Structure 1
Amino acid sequence: MQTLFRGEKHVGYNQFHLGTGTEPVEGWTMDDCFAGQRNGLCGAAERGQLFLITGLHTGNVPVTVELHETAPPVPDAPDVVEVSFPITRGPVGLFSGFVDDHADLGLPPGFYRVRYCADGMDAARAMDCRIDDASALDDYLLQFWPAPAEPDRVVRTGSEIARHWHDNAAGLPSPTRTPSQRADDRARDPEHARQRAIELNLRRAGQRAPGPLGSIEFAYTLALVDDDLADHLTSLPPDRQRGLALRTAHRTIAGTGLDRVAWIGDVLPRLGQAPLPGVFLDESTALAALAATPKVPCTVVTSPDERRAPTLAQAMALPALAAVTHPDATVALLETVHHALAAAGEEGYRDVLADLRFASADPA
């Protein structure tokens, strides 16, 4: 067992958060985080975020975060809930409620079960605000361990305020759109804005003249690491682009061990020849299926972009299967390469580029 954090975090409006990145992700609501759940204390419905409810309204609360190899015994706490939490990209931080305070947990990407344990919630609710040197009346424990995804559950309920939040979650309508679809509706999505900024900066710097390549969503990835290869690949005829996309997707899936996952390996012989099953067509749906698969391989690589973030290779590789099927051959190739580079990471992206150069070279 590793203790990743032990200390006090500031809460505001009965909440603090755990999430990926160095800043809390904006664009979601509390209802988004709890929709479709049984429990109302630990909201995990938004990918990459945990919305954590406390008894105290405002002030500091003691928090401990632990990482275990397997499921630990359930602590003797009045209120206990569990959720599943896939982490596809780090860093993972603990964020105070409405205060600029971030603690990097050093939690590696992977598929986790999370247990949230609370003690003293009713007493802290009655206190409302903890100020000056007042003693803490509530405390919180987060326990992580690797495990396939399963529905959230309420393990134990001992406080009135926890019962209230569970009832509130049960009354929320089930989500009708996947996290990927909701993200498409959020123009202020930080990752989307970052991608667009990189593309624009490249063009402004003269590294890529405006043109067909600049209009492709993921073209910037290859342009960043090998501008000449990007130009060469986009000049190839569509049939060769399709062939390279298929080759790269197969290489990426095999390189991350996903070809040994039955429901993924089954589609590989027909990739590009038959429609993909629906599970592959939405990234969040595919990731949820992957997270629920027992003994799925998990490999952490370093992202080959300017962030150098720890990244789950399998989560980066899986969307390559859908990318191959894009109706535009140029887009299919460049999007497949984008996912291949992300899955290979800083450690292996040069091998991806070398294979593309070799396979796309004109015959002697």
Structure 2
Amino acid sequence: MAQWSTVEADHHQFTIGERQADTLAVAVESSLFDAGSDFLTVRTGVAYGPVSIGVEILRDQPDSTLFEDWENVAECTINASTLCVMTLQGDPVQDFTDLTVIEPGRYRVRVHARGRDANWDMDVTEPTEDYLVQLWPVPRTQGFLRLKKTDTAWSEVDPKIPIATQAAARESVQAPNPQALGRPKLKRLVNRNSVSRFQLRNFTAVSDVAHLDRLLAEKLLALRDDELRSVAQWLPRRALAKAGLLDIEWVSNAVTVLEAGLWERPKDIYAAAVRAMTGGDPEIPVTQIVSVFDGQKPVDPVFGAMNALIYGFDPDPAVATFLALHGTLLAYGPQWKDLVNELEAAFPRIATWTIEGS
């Protein structure tokens, strides 16, 4: 019988695996989870907040009768001596006592998910998504299998693997190289402990920036945390100025708070920014420009500027930098090279740094 509890999703994810697993060492990518030799990082629909999770330890492979109750089901193999359910920051959920007594060895892990489309990219205070994780020992490593998929969350990162039939459920299916799918695989030039649990190279904002300016993305990935924090502080003012919003009092005050080094984003700033992004603030003009990431899709620069402000407060400096940069690039639109020039002028190390092999 499964043990049920909740885990806090953070940046659309939580992890199951070894406490000290290197979650950047991804071998399998899918719409449901990324996995390495000793972990799975599950992708959630909500950006932040609790999700329900059940964990069931089995003696052998279960049947497929549960599939009709779930929207996405996939499985892979991991090796483990100890396992836990944990947050992005590595904090374990203590409720899953069954995981603490499993024997060291090789385990097949089947993840079931539902509800991920309901509150996509939202902050929630109550669970709106359910996950059932089943584990059983196996004698050898088997590849990734997708067993069911009817939801749309994270579909853009799915490998081109068909849904396995029940008759072939025990067969290994290897994921193609993600580079072959046209998604840049950014090399990590340094390892910063603060982002070791965040799969930054698979982050949509990093991929978008890399498609636009690969060298810039690589240089930013190589910056120290204090340098990244400075960039994250610097970007929102440029985005908001480009969108014509700095003359609004609460916007100007919010930028001042950010630049003062207060990383705990005040709730009133977040609420005001969300209202502005959704057209609920009469002071905020509505305009459209061509998206820098999609030459045909129109985008409101206010959306990008407000995102730069919101995410500039992120406690992880690398995440704050790339999300704020993503939003600022949206605010600049076709003039995005002007932003790169301003960024290099403000941070000469970025301008002069040559990345080996670039």
Which category describes the TM-score, using the shorter chain as reference length?
A: 0.3 to 0.5
TM-score (norm 1): 0.43
Q: Could you say which structure has the larger radius of gyration? A: 1
